[in-house]
Structure 1
């Protein structure tokens, strides 16, 4: 009987040891942007987001002669009734259709898809010069958002006020990766020319800063895979816990029986 107890004890010890070993991770697989000889040459201007179909753009026109801008600025019901003040602040918005165009007052159809925000501003400004002296154009994305999923603290969809956002900033909004997240194989899903693309980034390497996907575009989806330890634990962890509990119970029972006989 003593041999049986010893065998159960060794078995239990082995399971605990393997569980601890499988949960251990090296510094190399956890630390971000580990230094190497890579030259950092990331330039935001190379990766400025382009306007896409289904984007919602807030566009407002200004000029020294305010009356000249009225035909080009949408107004809501409050403004039409003469109401003023911040409570009724209104930003006219335009949805880019499947052909990449918006329908703008007076100017009609304007194709903006494929342009950056600055290029779109200049496109509309040039068209307005026919009607307004020295027009000003302000454009912003009303639906610029990214989605972060997987092994992060707070997965979800995050609306952004500024289109200049990096992958690290988006992960920061989601509370950073958990210790179980796989840092060397981040998946970024992006729509380019109407097609979904799957792109991988290794955040453990400094070269990640040079990735064309380091700066995000609207509607990007970031997925953080679970590491090998987490995958194994998901399959074996519950069973391991059951085995440990059962083994402990059996050892306790045997120990009580042996002690009672003695």
Structure 2
């Protein structure tokens, strides 16, 4: 009986030692309202391989058509991506693809460097160039391939096209069906490429300080990776069957010994 009790205690220790905090922002104080100023939201900058919709308007309606041969995509329609991850431009009207040096080929104006600029900065630059051709020109720029990827321990890993061009890491996880119980909420990896530099940062979603992280608001082509915990690694290991057999053998042995005693 004593051996059986020891065995039960061992099993209890094994199951309890790997307990994981599944709550987001678990360090928030227990009060009804928590507020703070948003200071970490930044405007994404145009990069190589971005696909842009640029619409020109002015007081010269007839002349506008000269500058609007790029994408005229209905709002809500997204770009179809091929298996390799590149936009299938043949299926829809072609947009302005930013080349590796940050340039686009714009009607009449020729090559314009928009890489490294925000949408507002690019709009201001194009409008200044258009002043020689149009009266009071205005431009509207939208990303046609603003997308983020969520992989790892989530219920629906995928790449998502974001028509609003604004998304937080929590919204991305929600689109992916949230984390599984095996996902490490305290150690989520965000991979970002910007200005030819790749950065990787880990954020702790158990901690409210993530709300002020520069990686809380995702940017174009960010990848969110949710790492599995040790339990999932053991479960996926080739030794799982051996562990199960060993536990079954111990259980039978303890039962046999207890009956003899």
1:48 corresponding residue in structure 2: 43
1:81 corresponding residue in structure 2: none
Does 2:66 align with 1:67? no
2:158 corresponding residue in structure 1: 156
Q: Shift of the alpha carbon at 1:181?
A: 1.0
Q: CA RMSD in A?
A: 2.9
1:184 corresponding residue in structure 2: 186
1:48 is paired with a residue whose SS is: coil
Q: Shift of the alpha carbon at 1:12?
A: 6.0
Q: Which residues of 2 match residues 31-180 of structure 1 at below 5 A? A: 31-33=23-25, 34-35=27-28, 40-43=36-39, 46-74=41-69, 92-180=94-182
Distance in 1 of aligned mates of 2:207 and 2:35: 12
Distance in 2 of aligned mates of 1:227 and 1:39: 32
Residues 145/171 of structure 1: CA separation in 2 closer, same or farther (3 Å cut): same
Q: Shift of the alpha carbon at 1:126?
A: 1.4
Distance in 1 of aligned mates of 2:149 and 2:199: 15
TM-score w.r.t. length of structure 2? 0.77
1:82 corresponding residue in structure 2: none
Residue ranges of structure 2 left out of the alignment (5+ in a row): 72-91
Q: Give 1 or 2: higher helix fraction.
A: 1
Q: Shift of the alpha carbon at 1:119?
A: 1.4
Distance in 2 of aligned mates of 1:204 and 1:112: 38
Q: Shift of the alpha carbon at 1:10?
A: 6.2
Distance in 1 of aligned mates of 2:17 and 2:181: 13
Moved more, 15-24 or 63-72: 15-24
TM-score w.r.t. length of structure 1? 0.77
Residue ranges of structure 1 left out of the alignment (5+ in a row): 77-89
1:207 is paired with a residue whose SS is: helix
Q: Shift of the alpha carbon at 1:233?
A: 4.0
The structure with more radius of gyration: 1
Distance in 2 of aligned mates of 1:182 and 1:217: 22
Does 2:213 align with 1:220? no
Total equivalences in the alignment: 233
